[in-house]
């Protein structure tokens, strides 16, 4: 057995009892911030304290069991919950329309005219994939944090649906009175012959979508924070190019990175049981998201927002350009 691992097993519990120590492990000794490459016992402390402020029995030794000791300051280590109720709620956490499962609170944006702070996410997260005519959602609907799938209830309402960009499906139910009347007449006729048969008229469309986006108005400004989990406050907006590294902070897979592979893409996206919709001017990256991460904002290496993540597969993730999102919703960062 490695001598440091052996020392860790024998002395780890003793080191954990030193004041300010929050963990121990195996690593390399660092001097002046650089690794020496020498194996050592690593002692993790919440905060380094000058030796003169400690009694002799509180000072961590330089070595133990003939093994070097490296003391590393790590701060307070806390559980990183994404699906629990938090107030103020931060971008990167679970959120959703009261009729959907859960998605991600993407960012805090501001109404371009009034300056009012709003919660940004996808239409399919905050507005139940609505086209505005189907009754799936309406302005003023309750928004829960966390989302319903994560235990959100009527007691967890954090905002009300404020605006959304309609999603037009490739095939949808007709919304004109003439088509509805024709469907009723056809069904009356066919049931005289086949009681278990039904005719359904569907409308096929050629409309495309630019963004999957919506905003909600928080019940109070102090219920939300601009600080994205792990990523901080965004620093404006930017465009992306092929080969660029980007990152996101989402409800399901947390914070991770991807690489831009395709821009100006037109993509057919499944919207679940309601059908498919075609989106244009989309950006594809390597896979960096999982179901429930929808609504996350995508940032570049300078923490500038470049997109709103809305879809993906096992291999790729898809987001709409943030400029299109801001223009369609009338908001800014």
Domain boundary, last residue among 25, 52, 73: 73
Instruction: Tell me the C-alpha distance between 216 and 295, whole Å.
Output: 12
Residue 27's contacts (CB-CB under 8 Å, 6 or more residues apart) are: 39, 40, 42, 70, 72
- Please state, in angstroms and rounded to a whole number, the distance separating the CA atoms of residues 69 and 191: 83
pLDDT at 220: 98
Mean pLDDT of 273-277: 89
Q: Answer for the pair 312, 262: CB distance below 8 angstroms, yes or no.
A: no
Q: How many CB atoms lie within 10 A of CB 196?
A: 5
pLDDT tens for 129-164 read: 999 999 999 999 999 999 999 999 999 999 999 999
pTM: 0.73
Select the more confidently predicted residue: 45 or 330. 330
pLDDT in tens, 170-201: 864 555 556 456 557 655 756 667 666 665 54
- CATH number of residue 314's parent domain: 2.40.10.10
Q: How far apart are the first and last CA of the chain?
A: 55
CB atoms within 10 A of CB 259: 13
Query: Does residue 17 sit within a domain?
Result: yes
Its domain, for residue 182, covers: 171-204
Both structure tokens of 228? 């994205």
Are both 7 and 63 inside the same structural domain? yes
CATH at 66: 3.30.300
Number of structural domains found in the chain: 3
Q: How far is CA 195 from CA 29, 183, 185, 198, in A?
A: 80, 15, 14, 8
Note whether residue 270 is domain-resident: yes
């Amino acid at each position: 057995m490695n001598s440091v691992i052996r020392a860790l097993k024998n002395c780890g519990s003793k080191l954990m009892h030193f004041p300010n120590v929050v963990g121990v492990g195996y690593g390399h000794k660092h001097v002046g911030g650089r690794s020496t490459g020498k194996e050592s016992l690593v002692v993790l402390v919440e905060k380094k304290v000058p030796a003169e402020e400690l009694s002799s029995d509180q000072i961590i030794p330089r070595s133990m069991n003939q093994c070097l000791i490296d003391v590393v300051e790590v701060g307070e280590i806390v559980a990183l919950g994404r699906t629990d109720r938090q107030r103020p709620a931060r971008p990167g956490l679970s959120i959703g329309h009261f009729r959907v499962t859960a998605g991600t609170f993407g960012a805090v944006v501001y109404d371009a005219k009034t300056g009012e702070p709003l919660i940004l996410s996808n239409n399919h997260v905050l507005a139940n994939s609505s086209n505005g005519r189907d009754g799936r959602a309406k302005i003023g609907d309750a928004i829960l944090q966390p989302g319903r799938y994560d235990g959100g209830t009527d007691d967890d309402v954090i905002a009300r649906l404020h605006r959304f960009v309609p999603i037009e499906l490739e095939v949808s139910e007709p919304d004109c009175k003439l088509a509805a009347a024709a469907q009723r007449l056809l069904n009356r006729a066919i049931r005289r012959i086949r009681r278990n048969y039904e005719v359904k008229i569907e409308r096929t469309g050629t409309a495309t979508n630019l963004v999957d986006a919506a905003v909600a108005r928080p019940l109070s400004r102090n219920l939300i924070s601009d600080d994205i989990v792990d990523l901080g406050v965004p620093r404006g907006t930017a465009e992306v190019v092929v080969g660029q590294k980007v990152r996101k902070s989402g409800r399901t897979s947390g914070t991770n990175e991807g690489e831009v592979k395709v821009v100006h893409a037109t993509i057919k996206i499944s919207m679940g049981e309601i059908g498919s919709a075609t989106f244009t001017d989309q950006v594809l990256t390597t896979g960096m998201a999982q179901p429930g991460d929808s609504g996350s904002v995508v940032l570049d290496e300078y923490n500038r927002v470049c997109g709103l993540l809305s879809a993906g597969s096992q291999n790729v993730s898809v987001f709409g350009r943030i400029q299109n999102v801001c223009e369609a919703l009338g908001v800014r960062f």
